[in-house]
Chain A
Amino acid sequence: MRVHIGIDTGGTFTDVIAFREADGRLVALKVPSTPWNPAEAFITGVRAVLDELGTAPGDVGFLAHGTTVATNAVLERKGARTGLITTEGFRDVYEIRRLNRSYEDLYNVFWTKPAPLVPRYLRREVRERVNVDGVPIVPLDPASVREAAAALGREGVEAVAVCFLHAYRNPVHEQQAAALIREVLPGVSISLSHEINPEYREYERTSTTIVNAFVAPIIERYLADLERRLADAGVPASLHVMHSGGAAQTGRAARSRPITTILSGPAAGVIGAEMLAREIAQPDLITLDMGGTSTDVALLRHGKPRLASESEVAGEVIRTAMLDITTIGAGGGSIAWCDEGGRLKVGPQSAGADPGPACYARGGTQPTVTDANLVLGYLAPDAFLGGRMRLDRAAAEAAIDRLAAALGLSRLETAHGIFRIANANMLRAIRIVSVERGLDPRRFALLAFGGAGPVHAAALAAELDIPRVIVPQNPGNFSAFGLLVADLSRDAVRTQLTPLRPESFDDIRQTYAQLEAQLADQFVADGFDRGQVAFRRSVEARYVGQAYEVNVPVPGETLTTAELAALAEAFHAAHAERYGHSAPGEPVELVNFRAIATVPTAKPRFPRLTRTDGDGAAAQTGVRPAWFDGRGDPVPTPVLDRRRLGAGVVLTGPAIIEEPGATTVLLPGQRAEVDDWGNIVIAVGRAGA
């Protein structure tokens, strides 16, 4: 009786989802998070789902965990005391950064750079130099390494980052330095730039390596604690940790590159979407995960999420394989306000979970998106979180009324204005993942989840002319669901400037062979068979002279001359898609070679819903007034219980569909059908129609 468990730690709740293969039973629940030590909520949650299923801990066959431990260490700057050892003359690369300020600070007289995670006195230089071709031109001076390590040791560092110029090309000096540091500082965690991020551009590589070092001891302690607690609880399965690239990784892999957990928060939902896309044969999807304080948007094309390679957390630049997810500060808790010039604004300030929206009646007085949705009738006072939390409609109205007076609008105009502007903010995020990547959102379906996503999705899709909205079952727990279906994966990259021409083909084949051998070895060390490992290749290429690369998939296996020749065509096409033009005939060079190795996990198979057809009347629990524009009378709107909707049911809007943890709004005139997997699929008309 194998049981799969996914545990996703959030700011307020820890979501736990469990699936039992034997009878296909799925249990999803939330336990309060324990920010002082997330392991407590983790274990509480695991015990709770096992109780609910009536299953022994020994039956747990697979465990996957989405953690924010590393992310929070960076956000709160509470990582390990860390030192940097770098090439002589370059200790300030990390502090100078790239010189510029963010767009938000363009006109800010008082802007500053973020305080460095490693202050200047903990950044030590050693004599060594490797040139751009990877040739050591100044040998590593062992004495200077020992001296630097000893000095950092006297300062009590727990972790050391090592980043030498051009180490992505030739790591020999970093390897030699690591051996020396280990001698001087046994037991100190060491992060080497050529292992953490072997790509060129020294600031980004240094920052990435430093962040990795900064969180490494924290992740080590956390995972060791979790494994001990799991063993105490009698759970035999080994722990897997979510990777920002949208895969699971073993605990050992997460320890060796903890930086890969930092942007993993929103990744699980996208992996859930990837699985769903396959099931329902809808390969082109935009995902909208709207929670209390933020919304994550991503895009799947041909069933695959897009990858990104660089992001920022609390001002720290991080380069690692990650899903291309855009996060904006717009959620149910986003505060609506009137600016100095009388314009209605929503966010980015959020009322968070505490005090929360005015309608939570926990002392919040500022109107939020959730308050507007309550006033508009989309949410019900007694149906929030499955009735476990009552919403105070009078408090929401009072908060909206105060804002309405400042704007010179009515209560409903204001509430509907908040709804529209929150949508406009999310539209911006959808545009970033689609239009700015050269893709037309009208060719995609919108997959809405998170607590607040299904309220807004139909209106958003209408604004963008997106033809279909899909709301999965348990949208509030969809991210935890994603943890259950993620494959195991590892990735490797190498920067090696290579002209794309026949003379280079042998080098290209050899580069991939080396990357893949390295990845396979790591899986073998984790106890897998070499034969289980599958590879995906890509390369970042550019026109000679450009500094921005376009990622192009590379065929696997032998790489025939014809396949390599076709790379140029693929690059021109990818460039044209993304940038609107290409220049066939101009020389192309390959920059970063990437390989991803995957070992599939045993995926749970999900049951289909019983087909009942009908118009949903049987699921209707009542009728309530709702407003779908800022004027006029309310529309009496049927309210349905989603748990009573069978497959094949066809609904006509307006309708409000409630389930524990989420509410789906169907606009007047829209049609929706429940599919065999229980997804609500909305056919969207044009805005205003």
Chain B
Amino acid sequence: MSMRTSGDGSAARQIDPVTLEILGSNLHAAAEEMAVSLRRTAYSSIVREAMDFSCCLFDGQARLIAQAANIPMHLNSLPLALADWLQEYPIAEMEPGDLLIGNDPYRGGNHLQDVITFLPIFAEGRVVAVAANLAHWVDVGGRSPGSIGNDVTDNYQEGLCIPPLKIMRRGELDQNLLKLILRNVREPEKSYGDLRGQIAANRTAERRVLELIDRYGLATVEAGMDGLIAYSEQRMRRGLRERIPDGEAVFEDVIDDTGVVMQPCRIRVKVIKRGDRITVDFTGTDPQQLGAANSPIGPTTSAVYYVIKAIAGPDIPINAGCYRPIEIVAPAGTLVNATLPAACQARNVICHRITDVLFGALSQLCPEQVMAASYGCTPSYTMGGYSARRGRHFAFYEVLGGGLGGRLGVDGVDCCAANTSNFLNIPVEMIELELPVLIQRYELVPDSGGSGEFRGGCAGRRDMTVLTDVVMSFLDERHTHAPWGLFGGGPGGKGRFRIVSPDGEEREIYSKATNVLVKAGETVSLITPGGGGYGDPRRRPREQVAWDLKNGYITEEFARREYEYTG
């Protein structure tokens, strides 16, 4: 690591720690600039506000070099897709200005809404890097607005699947393909806008990489890429050695249901930690099911990498080196490695549960590094209808927050975006501009944080009255199986969705209900799950229980029952 480059710049395949740091920060900056460009130019609110997109740089050998900080759910979607697609479109046959596009979940993708693009970057007549990004399009067709449908029984019902295609050749967009794609989505202008943003972001990275090569020379930049991968691998191995004791642990949990199969389905994990390697084995997990809650291998590996990285080295730069010491065993045809024709739109249900069970297993090896179970998935709703204000049909999608599990020394976070997701809510005042709704409340839910020495985070609640008839779909989890606590901590509150008519009549909505007609004047009340508590509630300092009570995070009844607190 500490070898120097010779003075004339003819870099050996080794690089000094100063140049490595400078190249590392420049390559990372290139990925970040892509992300800035993509987010700022995006049309769909999911990209802009929920930050549901990802930007990466690969080297000429298709190894991940740098990734913009973004939602961890996308940690490993782009590497798998690139590796897969290059078998069909070999790097050697690429030409400058070519652009690959695709969203096939079973060719390294996520779910159909996540559209991936790759742009090869040329220097000295060959591909020296690949710019890549993924953006969640607002709609890719399928059975309901926003392409959310949890009662689907196979992938073909979920929308338009674009296999890996060369949509741009030598800088010329293939108008036929474009027409085909845009005819099959509900918001073609927004989707085309997002695609233009994705291309512009790749071009940004291209300029940046070429500038670096111009300044430091291709040999030095390539040596730097090698050095960065070796660096991250070394850091990850060291983190595994030092932060997770050797041993084996097994944990399992269930999801409420799949959207079609109305019974719990099991996710089982066995963790084997030895020295500087770790194996995560999902053998024993239930087979893939009818319904949208199945995960392709890409999201599954992302969820695993998230937990391991969060414990072994939160600050390790993300690249191909990080993942080398991690082995994942995920039997094909199960919930965690679904295959065609499984539907997978709601793969985040599985990803959130993978995170929980991995923390659960690791609580047996490194109890001080984990958290209790959090809310159950990425809770969301879609709404479609006609807006008189805008004079047109709309399809709207919003993500909700929930409670995070308690951690050693720190309470769970109240109403937030947890773990593999990280998104922003959409402001009430913006929703009311865009949609014919009146929001009635947006608040924390008392008693929904599991009791504990370190309590779980409170759930969130959003109530809205629709002003015209709309069609809504929902996605949530842990409405029947509460988020568990750890080491004596109590469970977090379950989620609960309802529709209340103007005369006060209530009806429950199933957590994954699809295409629900909500009539003008009805109020949709969405309560997400909270987080589980960590540690024995009786050990919670009394002044903190009193503080929670004073602030209404808990009620008197809950304080008495869970904390034996009577003031």
Q: Which residues of A contact B (CB under 8 A)?
A: 88-93, 95-96, 98-101, 103, 106-113, 119-121, 129, 131-132, 137, 165-166, 168, 200-204, 338, 340-345, 407-409, 413, 416-417, 420-421, 424-425, 428, 431, 435-436, 497, 543-548, 578-581, 583, 586, 630-631, 687
A108-B310, A202-B428 known; A92 and B238 CB under 8 Å?
no
Binary interface encoding of chain B residues 30-57 relative to chain A, with 1 for a CB under 8 A from any of its CBs, else 0: 0001001100111101001101000000
Q: How far is the CA of A119 from the CA of B306 in the complex (A)?
A: 32
Question: How many whole Å from B67's CB to the nearest CB in chain A?
Answer: 11
A110-B410, A580-B204 known; A121 and B416 CB under 8 Å?
no
Q: Are B424 and A91 in contact (CB under 8 A)?
A: no
Question: How many whole Å from A557's CB to the nearest CB in chain B?
Answer: 31
Binary interface encoding of chain B residues 302-316 relative to chain A, with 1 for a CB under 8 A from any of its CBs, else 0: 000010011101110
Q: How far is the CA of A497 from the CA of B235 in the complex (A)?
A: 51
Q: How far is the CA of A204 from the CA of B432 in the complex (A)?
A: 16
A341-B235, A342-B2 known; A99 and B417 CB under 8 Å?
yes
Binary interface encoding of chain B residues 428-460 relative to chain A, with 1 for a CB under 8 A from any of its CBs, else 0: 111011000011111110000000000000001
A106-B72, A581-B196 known; A545 and B43 CB under 8 Å?
yes
Question: How many whole Å from A198's CB to the nearest CB in chain B?
Answer: 12
- List the 3 closest A-B pairs by CB distance, nearest first: A89-B441, A408-B2, A417-B18
Instruction: Kindly report which residue of chain A lies nearest to residue B441, judged by CB atoms.
Output: A89
A421-B18, A431-B33 known; A201 and B551 CB under 8 Å?
no
Residues from chain A with Cβ under 8 Å of B325 in the complex: none
Residues from chain A with Cβ under 8 Å of B7 in the complex: 631
Question: How many whole Å from A110's CB to the nearest CB in chain B?
Answer: 5
Residues from chain A with Cβ under 8 Å of B193 in the complex: 543, 545, 583
Residues from chain B with Cβ under 8 Å of A416 in the complex: 18
Interface assignment of B552: CB less than 8 Å from any CB of chain A: yes
Q: Place the interface of chain B in its size category.
A: 35 or more
Instruction: Kindly report which residue of chain B lies nearest to residue A346, judged by CB atoms.
Output: B21
Binary interface encoding of chain B residues 390-422 relative to chain A, with 1 for a CB under 8 A from any of its CBs, else 0: 100000000101000001011101111100001
Q: How far is the CA of A424 from the CA of B72 in the complex (A)?
A: 27
Q: Please tell me which one of the listed residues A108, A420, A497, A546 contacts residue B43 in the complex, with CB atoms under 8 A apart.
A: A546
Q: Are B18 and A545 in contact (CB under 8 A)?
A: no
Residues from chain B with Cβ under 8 Å of A109 in the complex: 310-311, 314, 369-371, 407
Q: Are A424 and B25 in contact (CB under 8 A)?
A: yes
Q: Are B17 and A121 in contact (CB under 8 A)?
A: no
Q: Are B401 and A107 in contact (CB under 8 A)?
A: no
Q: Are A90 and B442 in contact (CB under 8 A)?
A: yes
Q: Are B17 and A343 in contact (CB under 8 A)?
A: yes
Interface positions, chain B 57-98, Cβ under 8 Å from A, are 69-70, 72
Q: Are A579 and B40 in contact (CB under 8 A)?
A: yes
Q: How far is the CA of A545 from the CA of B409 in the complex (A)?
A: 43
Question: How many whole Å from A335's CB to the nearest CB in chain B?
Answer: 15
Residues from chain B with Cβ under 8 Å of A204 in the complex: 427
Q: How far is the CA of A49 from the CA of B171 in the complex (A)?
A: 64
Q: Are B416 and A687 in contact (CB under 8 A)?
A: no
A131-B438, A407-B17 known; A200 and B427 CB under 8 Å?
yes
Q: How far is the CA of A130 from the CA of B72 in the complex (A)?
A: 39
Q: Please tell me which one of the listed residues B370, B371, B443 contacts residue A90 in the complex, with CB atoms under 8 A apart.
A: B443
Q: Please tell me which one of the listed residues A91, A111, A343 contacts residue B443 in the complex, with CB atoms under 8 A apart.
A: A91
Besides A428-B29, A436-B36, 12 other CB < 8 A contacts? A88-B441, A93-B442, A96-B415, A99-B399, A107-B309, A109-B370, A110-B407, A129-B438, A341-B234, A545-B189, A546-B43, A580-B37
Residues from chain B with Cβ under 8 Å of A99 in the complex: 399, 401, 415-417, 423-425
Instruction: Kindly report which residue of chain B lies nearest to residue A591, judged by CB atoms.
Output: B433
Residues from chain A with Cβ under 8 Å of B29 in the complex: 428, 431
Q: Are A543 and B43 in contact (CB under 8 A)?
A: yes
10 contacts between A and B (CB under 8 A): A100-B417, A101-B422, A113-B416, A119-B551, A121-B552, A201-B427, A417-B18, A424-B25, A545-B193, A579-B200
Residues from chain A with Cβ under 8 Å of B51 in the complex: 100
Residues from chain B with Cβ under 8 Å of A201 in the complex: 427, 429-430
Q: Which of A89, A343, A431, A583 is the most central at the interface, judged by chain B CB atoms within 10 Å of its CB?
A: A343
Residues from chain B with Cβ under 8 Å of A408 in the complex: 1-2
Instruction: Kindly report which residue of chain A lies nearest to residue B33, judged by CB atoms.
Output: A436
Residues from chain B with Cβ under 8 Å of A421 in the complex: 18, 21-22
Q: Are B306 and A107 in contact (CB under 8 A)?
A: yes
Residues from chain B with Cβ under 8 Å of A93 in the complex: 428, 442
Q: How far is the CA of A409 from the CA of B18 in the complex (A)?
A: 10
Question: How many whole Å from A152's CB to the nearest CB in chain B?
Answer: 14
Residues from chain A with Cβ under 8 Å of B1 in the complex: 341-342, 408
Instruction: Kindly report which residue of chain B lies nearest to residue A89, judged by CB atoms.
Output: B441
Q: Are B416 and A92 in contact (CB under 8 A)?
A: no
Q: How far is the CA of A407 from the CA of B3 in the complex (A)?
A: 10
